[in-house]
Amino acid sequence: MEINGVLIEDTFAEAFPCWASMAVITAVTKTWAHKIAMEATGFATSCIGCAAEAGIDYYVPTDRTPDWRPGYAIMVCNPSKKKLKEQMVERIAECVLTAPTAAVFNGIPSAEEKLPVKLHFFGDGYEHQVKVGDRDCWAIPIMGGEFICEEEYGVVKGVAGGNFLVMSDNQMSALMGAEAAVEAIDELEGAITSFPGGIVASGSKVGSHKYKFMNASTNDEYCPSLKDKVPATKIPPGINYVFEIVIDGLDLHCVKKAMMEGIEAACGVPGVKRISAGNYGGKLGPFQIQLHDLFKI
Amino acid sequence: MEINGVLIEDTFAEAFPCWASMAVITAVTKTWAHKIAMEATGFATSCIGCAAEAGIDYYVPTDRTPDWRPGYAIMVCNPSKKKLKEQMVERIAECVLTAPTAAVFNGIPSAEEKLPVKLHFFGDGYEHQVKVGDRDCWAIPIMGGEFICEEEYGVVKGVAGGNFLVMSDNQMSALMGAEAAVEAIDELEGAITSFPGGIVASGSKVGSHKYKFMNASTNDEYCPSLKDKVPATKIPPGINYVFEIVIDGLDLHCVKKAMMEGIEAACGVPGVKRISAGNYGGKLGPFQIQLHDLFKI
Amino acid sequence: MEINGVLIEDTFAEAFPCWASMAVITAVTKTWAHKIAMEATGFATSCIGCAAEAGIDYYVPTDRTPDWRPGYAIMVCNPSKKKLKEQMVERIAECVLTAPTAAVFNGIPSAEEKLPVKLHFFGDGYEHQVKVGDRDCWAIPIMGGEFICEEEYGVVKGVAGGNFLVMSDNQMSALMGAEAAVEAIDELEGAITSFPGGIVASGSKVGSHKYKFMNASTNDEYCPSLKDKVPATKIPPGINYVFEIVIDGLDLHCVKKAMMEGIEAACGVPGVKRISAGNYGGKLGPFQIQLHDLFKI
Amino acid sequence: MEINGVLIEDTFAEAFPCWASMAVITAVTKTWAHKIAMEATGFATSCIGCAAEAGIDYYVPTDRTPDWRPGYAIMVCNPSKKKLKEQMVERIAECVLTAPTAAVFNGIPSAEEKLPVKLHFFGDGYEHQVKVGDRDCWAIPIMGGEFICEEEYGVVKGVAGGNFLVMSDNQMSALMGAEAAVEAIDELEGAITSFPGGIVASGSKVGSHKYKFMNASTNDEYCPSLKDKVPATKIPPGINYVFEIVIDGLDLHCVKKAMMEGIEAACGVPGVKRISAGNYGGKLGPFQIQLHDLFKI
């Protein structure tokens, strides 16, 4: 199968269940809401080494936020619901409560299950309850005015590890293809790409052949520079650079849609030669997303 | 004392020793180096609740980086040297090693003491040593090419908690004054402001009067909206909003310079009424930075 | 009438008919499309002194552009259809044809009337016709590849000079109120704000009392600093700073919607005291947009 | 000659004298100063079709501006001193005087020759003279406060048309190489790149072979897609895409330095194959900048 002359391999991405929660961060301007959301979702690329996977999902214009101010919806993910709760508390407490003009609201009000994020104790008794639209909130006096927040955040069983690989003979084409893919995914609601600029340059395998104390090491089968040294190389002839887009989403549909839009955008970039996806032969993740199926709709 | 008609209170900022390390992150373009540096320094506002305090310090143009590519120097701080080392390892491993076209170098080569950041094991034996300029580095094969890194990062006993308060009768003047201050500090090398957009809206006191299980709560004496309820209020008449700039630096000089430039910039913004600073009466921090002394140079 | 405690004056904005055309500029990434659109719409604040009024209207995601690449829709306006045609030709020829990976398409395909923008002669005979989706285009060989363009651009009788005034006792609140208004208008399709950052700091009146050779001079009745010197001042008590949002749109509905959304956003910013609008007593412009009517929907 | 494995052709860029003037635009924040400078330098790629060539030259931090506020230095160029004067007046009047919190100062105070930019008449008699640092300025009452400006702007005989070509077999490498070059030039004072994102995708030749009414058309000798059709092609084997960086500067030294830094940066981008330069065989421009000489310093 080809899109715009780019070969789409007949393979699948293997994805996993993962708890996901969302918050809508608002501020006096869109610019400020973005600064705060960036800080709150930083240092959160992969649960292998970070305490969470997180990213900005989408801009929420004034007519869709509870307080009629501009906002950004952020998504935070973790396989452990307990750790996800801790991360929601810490990221909101340290990066939003502290930020100028910020307020924060439940980002998945429709979710039945909710994570408690009890910030009002910070008010030391000076806090009071307020209604913002139909949301039950707390107003906490702070130096810069009042901080408004909800204390329950919807949590759902989402999907992590949706992915595809952008390949080229040259590095810049692969990079720009991946960048175009991330831009396309940014337009969608319900899916994030948690790595810097949304792109992964360095895939890992479980464990290490040489260093037994390492629980992850470079995925040598996917390193183009090793293709002549690694007999089991997965790198096709003519490919010298591979970038991966890894997607977390609220559900399988969101992840599939992000993969589809991302792949189409990557295929629009000159020099992109091939699209593939990462999997573990179907042994680990319960979700197998066939690349060719994405385009049968 | 007044600057541009703005009253500078006769008080001092109380600051603390803190270990600080730096890395220079380079990439194929300035834009990419910035994206990576943002991710690597996210979720790092205050060591009260984050694992580190971190921020982008300055842009390093091509003629000053070891690999002649554009870079950003980031600073990571923690009172514990052990935790600082862990954070340097994790932030570089998760947010830089994974990023497209990234390389990373020691940001304080002149420091005698160094933190080990052993990333080459990730190469699983395929890694090799390379010299980049005069730096001893490792080249690790990854999907997107090769990741180049040094493995020792200078660490110094820096200064954390330098600060000043920007006050106004109205919120937007206080906010823009604080924003101008952060912009001025961004121009300096050796000092960071780790909060979102560099500004703290919500100061805290140790412990809580009402909720004994809280080890920090809102600094009610500095909440303008509580000035009629809190007898010991520190809010002067006519002040309704306060934003704080908190500065970490490589040494006392860097912090003082940042405070001086930041205060001058804030005083250039219409509507800023008063500048003060936060301290604990001199009981906690060994460094007392008198605001008036900053301008005696 | 009040919105969020801000007084909305019972007055109207006076607006004028104006020819408007649009182009969709696409490029390899959203970032590049934005750079090109910024250049193409620069130096175009007011037809009083510029050759056109122009601005970026909205982002066009990949699934809505003819070539499935990311794009920005720009709007260019002029009371003279002849001058508008010249400006479309020059801005596209100088700022889009010259730009890396750019392509450009008719931004109002539904318009019956069209402006010719004959760029294919630049190809010196090497150009050829291509179909992009359902659009008839030319492909012109250039150094950086091929430039793709349509040669007819829809033109409609739009509305210029829609406006409102954001007022405060302090400058930063008025500025941030205006900034929030522009951010809200940026979300809408069919309306632009052509001034830097979308905000006008300096209104003008026709002619000059003192300097007879000037055909425009400061609108002294709206200068807060002159309110004690100008008997006919329009500045209400307590107001010291006024910023104006000027809106051009494809039709009256677009302009009204932009005014409504912009005013609501401005009223959400702390310190904004009053909203008014500019008019000439109904003597000049055929469109009178009553502020109060905007909120009767 | 090679840099980082990239062939530097043994040729020269041909450049021309051109009048250049500069203004320093300040505002309440760096962000606002940038917005205003962008508008003021828009629609100014090439004097072939625009009324000027213009661009942002460098950021001027608070301690280097006359009013101690953040600023950007812009450069405006035109072969005709009279047209340059008109453009300085119009761009400042329409794009700076109208902008929130803006002020504008002479950007080349050391220049002996000055262009008059008489804006104070806009004040209609309400304006007054003020001293800002050592600069003689006017304060003009406007809606948003007061507009501060100098009325004389230094003008020098600068150099236009400095250039080099970034070549690759693939488009994205050539584009990223050109982008890295522009980023490097952005760091320098005294030189601008006036095209969108600083890059020219479409070079032109004087006149047209086929269409006699055209005074410029595509430079077919430099179009890679025509290399098999144009016998006199200048495109070397293996090159499929060419982007040009065109530089205007205050003097020959500034242009040479920009070329040198830009070329070095481009050669650091993977996939860039070759650097050349554009000239007319030495027949037109009095300045011949040999590429190889740039690196003999």
- Domain CATH for C149: 3.30.70.520
Residues A131 and B264: their CA atoms lie apart, in Å, by 40
Residues B256 and B289: their CA atoms lie apart, in Å, by 7
Q: Quick one: tokens of C193? A: 């704000």
**What is the pLDDT averaged over residues C125-148?**
97
Residues A143 and B225: their CA atoms lie apart, in Å, by 8
Binary contact (B36, A197; C-beta < 8 A): yes
The strand pairing partners of A137, in sequence order, are A130
In this structure, the strands spanning A114-116 and A152-168 are antiparallel
Asked if C164 and C274 sit in the same domain, the reply is yes
Q: Quick one: tokens of C183? A: 């951010």
The strand pairing partners of D168, in sequence order, are D241
Domain with B225 in it? 2-14+158-294
What confidence tier does C297 reach under pLDDT thresholds 50, 70, 90?
A: low
pTM of the model: 0.96
For residue C66, report the phi and psi dihedrals to the nearest 5 degrees: -60, -35
| pLDDT 10s digits, B227-277 | 999 999 999 999 999 999 999 999 999 999 999 999 999 999 999 999 999
Asked if A172 and A83 sit in the same domain, the reply is no
**Collapsing DSSP states into helix, strand and coil, what is residue C197?**
helix
Dihedral over Cα of A91, A97, A103, A109: its sign: positive
Chain B CB contacts of D175 under 8 Å are: none
* Last residue within a domain, chosen from C105, C138, C156: C156
**What pLDDT does residue A283 have?**
83
- Overall domain count for chain A: 2
Residues B54 and B77: their CA atoms lie apart, in Å, by 6
Residues B26 and B29: their CA atoms lie apart, in Å, by 8
The strand pairing partners of B56, in sequence order, are B74
Percent helix, strand and coil across chain C, each rounded to 5?
25, 35, 40
- Geometric angle at alpha carbon B247, from B246 and B248, rounded to 5°: 135
Give, as one character, the DSSP assignment of residue B181: H
| pLDDT 10s digits, B104-162 | 999 999 999 999 999 999 999 999 999 999 999 999 999 999 999 999 999 999 999 99
Residues D69 and D91: their CA atoms lie apart, in Å, by 21
**What pLDDT does residue C49 have?**
85
Residues A60 and A22: their CA atoms lie apart, in Å, by 13
Place of tokens 């004056």: C9
Contact assessment for residue A43 and residue B40, using Cβ atoms and an 8 Å cutoff: yes
For residue A4, the chain C residue with the least C-alpha distance is C68
**What pLDDT does residue A48 have?**
85
What chains are in contact with B, requiring at least 3 Cβ pairs below 8 Å? A, C, D
Chain C CB contacts of A67 under 8 Å are: 268
Residue type for position B186 = D
Binary contact (B196, A98; C-beta < 8 A): yes
Residues B198 and B244: their CA atoms lie apart, in Å, by 9
Asked if D150 and D177 sit in the same domain, the reply is no
Q: Number of CB pairs < 8 Å for C and D? A: 269
Residues D120 and D137: their CA atoms lie apart, in Å, by 9
What is the secondary structure of A78-142 as a DSSP string?
A: ESSHHHHHHHHHHHHHHHTTTSTT-EEEES-TT-SSEEE---GGGGTT--EEEEETTEEEEEEEE
Contact assessment for residue B123 and residue B167, using Cβ atoms and an 8 Å cutoff: no
**What pLDDT does residue D161 have?**
95
Contact assessment for residue A176 and residue A167, using Cβ atoms and an 8 Å cutoff: no
Give, as one character, the DSSP assignment of residue A236: P
Asked if D178 and D232 sit in the same domain, the reply is yes
Which of A183, A261, A264 lies nearest to residue C30, judging by beta carbons?
A183
Binary contact (D269, A172; C-beta < 8 A): yes
Q: Quick one: tokens of D102? A: 């803006």
Query: Could you tell me where the DSSP H helices lie in chain B?
Result: 30-40, 81-95, 171-186, 252-267, 291-294
Q: Of the candidates B72, B75, B33, B34, which has an alpha carbon nearest to the alpha carbon of residue B53?
A: B75
Q: Quick one: tokens of A203? A: 């895939």
Integer angstrom CA distances of residue B243 from B185, B240, B262, B266, C174: 15, 10, 13, 11, 19
Percent helix, strand and coil across chain B, each rounded to 5?
25, 35, 40
* Last residue within a domain, chosen from B156, B182, B200: B156
Q: Of the candidates A30, A290, A41, which has an alpha carbon nearest to the alpha carbon of residue B41?
A: A41
Binary contact (C202, D94; C-beta < 8 A): no
Residue C103 is inside which H or E element, if any? strand C103-106
pLDDT at B186 over 90: yes
Asked if A114 and A164 sit in the same domain, the reply is no
Chain A CB contacts of C265 under 8 Å are: 62, 70
Integer angstrom CA distances of residue C196 from B261, C42, C43, C174, C263: 28, 9, 9, 16, 19
The strand pairing partners of D138, in sequence order, are D129, D149
Which of D29, D184, D270 lies nearest to residue B180, judging by beta carbons?
D29
Residues B84 and B78: their CA atoms lie apart, in Å, by 5
What chains are in contact with A, requiring at least 3 Cβ pairs below 8 Å? B, C, D
Q: How far is B28 from chain D (nearest CA, A)?
A: 6
**What pLDDT does residue B297 have?**
61
Mean pLDDT for chain C? Answer: 96
Contact assessment for residue A19 and residue A250, using Cβ atoms and an 8 Å cutoff: no
Give, as one character, the DSSP assignment of residue C236: P
The B-side interface with C (CB below 8 A) comprises: 31, 169-173, 175-176, 269-271
Tell which of D3, D4, D6, D30 to mutate to test the B interface (max B CBs under 10 Å). D30
Q: Name every residue whose Cβ is closer than 8 Å to that of residue B128 and which is 6 or more positions away in sequence.
A: B138, B139
| pLDDT 10s digits, A105-126 | 999 999 999 999 999 999 999 9
**What pLDDT does residue A285 have?**
87
For residue B54, report the phi and psi dihedrals to the nearest 5 degrees: -150, 155
Q: How far is C113 from chain D (nearest CA, A)?
A: 26
Asked if D228 and D120 sit in the same domain, the reply is no
Residue B55 is inside which H or E element, if any? strand B53-60
Residues B58 and B192: their CA atoms lie apart, in Å, by 9
For residue D272, the chain A residue with the least C-alpha distance is A172
For C38, half-sphere exposure in the C-beta direction (CA atoms, 13 angstrom radius) is: 23
**What pLDDT does residue A7 have?**
98
Which ipTM value was assigned to this complex?
0.96
Which of A100, A213, A218 lies nearest to residue B123, judging by beta carbons?
A218
Binary contact (D29, B183; C-beta < 8 A): yes
Binary contact (B269, C172; C-beta < 8 A): yes
What confidence tier does A297 reach under pLDDT thresholds 50, 70, 90?
A: low
Asked if B255 and B138 sit in the same domain, the reply is no
Widest CA span of chain C, in angstroms? 67
For A162, half-sphere exposure in the C-beta direction (CA atoms, 13 angstrom radius) is: 31
Chain C CB contacts of A61 under 8 Å are: 184, 187
Residues C220 and C233: their CA atoms lie apart, in Å, by 7
Number of H helices, E strands in chain A: 4, 17
pLDDT at B23 over 90: yes
For C33, half-sphere exposure in the C-beta direction (CA atoms, 13 angstrom radius) is: 29
Asked if B164 and B269 sit in the same domain, the reply is yes
Asked if D135 and D187 sit in the same domain, the reply is no
Q: Name every residue whose Cβ is closer than 8 Å to that of residue B266 and which is 6 or more positions away in sequence.
A: B6, B164, B166, B177, B178, B180, B181, B272, B275
Which of B62, B145, B183 lies nearest to residue D184, judging by beta carbons?
B62
**What is the pLDDT averaged over residues A157-170?**
97
**What pLDDT does residue A227 have?**
95
Q: Name every residue whose Cβ is closer than 8 Å to that of residue D288 and which is 6 or more positions away in sequence.
A: D12, D13, D14, D15, D279, D282
Residue B26 is inside which H or E element, if any? strand B12-26
**What pLDDT does residue C285 have?**
87
Asked if D173 and D124 sit in the same domain, the reply is no
Q: How far is B43 from chain A (nearest CA, A)?
A: 5
Asked if D184 and D91 sit in the same domain, the reply is no
pLDDT at C282 over 90: no
pLDDT tens by residue, chain D, 297 residues: 999 999 999 999 999 999 999 999 999 999 999 999 999 999 999 998 899 999 999 999 999 999 999 999 999 999 999 999 999 999 999 999 999 999 999 999 999 999 999 999 999 999 999 999 999 999 999 999 999 999 999 999 999 999 999 999 999 999 999 999 999 999 999 999 999 999 999 999 989 999 999 989 999 999 999 999 999 999 999 999 999 999 999 999 999 999 999 999 999 999 999 999 999 888 888 999 999 999 986
* Last residue within a domain, chosen from A96, A131, A156: A156
Place of tokens 């909101």: A92
Q: Of the candidates B124, C26, B145, C72, which has an alpha carbon nearest to the alpha carbon of residue A199?
A: B145
Q: Quick one: tokens of A86? A: 């801790």
Q: How far is A273 from chain C (nearest CA, A)?
A: 16
Around Cβ D194, how many Cβ atoms within 10 Å?
26
Contact assessment for residue D195 and residue D246, using Cβ atoms and an 8 Å cutoff: yes
| pLDDT 10s digits, C204-243 | 998 999 999 998 999 999 999 999 999 999 999 999 999 9
Asked if D147 and D188 sit in the same domain, the reply is no
Q: Number of CB pairs < 8 Å for A and D? A: 37
Contact assessment for residue A240 and residue A150, using Cβ atoms and an 8 Å cutoff: no
Place of tokens 């991360």: A87
**What pLDDT does residue D170 have?**
97
Dihedral over Cα of D128, D130, D135, D141: its sign: negative
**What is the pLDDT averaged over residues A187-212?**
95
Contact assessment for residue B62 and residue D184, using Cβ atoms and an 8 Å cutoff: yes
Which of D31, D172, D269 lies nearest to residue A173, judging by beta carbons?
D172
What is the secondary structure of D64-75 as a DSSP string?
A: GSTTSS-EEEEE
Around Cβ A140, how many Cβ atoms within 10 Å?
25
Q: Name every residue whose Cβ is closer than 8 Å to that of residue D91 and which is 6 or more positions away in sequence.
A: C43, D40, D41, D52, D54, D76
**Collapsing DSSP states into helix, strand and coil, what is residue B257?**
helix
- Chain CA centroid to CA D150, Å: 23
- Geometric angle at alpha carbon B8, from B2 and B9, rounded to 5°: 135
**What pLDDT does residue D297 have?**
61
In this structure, the strands spanning D191-192 and D128-132 are unpaired
| pLDDT 10s digits, C60-78 | 999 999 999 999 999 999 9
Contact assessment for residue A87 and residue A51, using Cβ atoms and an 8 Å cutoff: yes
